[in-house]
Amino acid sequence: MGRLVKTYNSTEVSVDGTYLLDVNNLSPGTYFITSQDATGKQYQKQMVIKK
């Protein structure tokens, strides 16, 4: 089971719908990114950080 590592609340999304997420302070490993758009629709992506 995982744990919540960080929470971001941002309205700074570019015109093409992207948002830059700073992961420099995260340890190597597998992370699941969950986001929600302005309409309330949720998205989830898996991200692997290797250093």
Instruction: Quote the pLDDT of residue 31.
Output: 93
As to burial, measured by CB atoms within 10 angstroms (0-12 exposed, 13-18 middle, 19+ buried), residue 31 is: middle
* pLDDT tens per residue across span 9-48: 776 667 787 788 888 999 999 999 988 877 889 999 999 9
Residue 1 has pLDDT above 70, yes or no: no
**Local confidence band at 50 (pLDDT 50, 70, 90 cut-offs):** very high
The neighbouring-strand residues paired with 47 are 31
Instruction: Quote the pLDDT of residue 48.
Output: 95
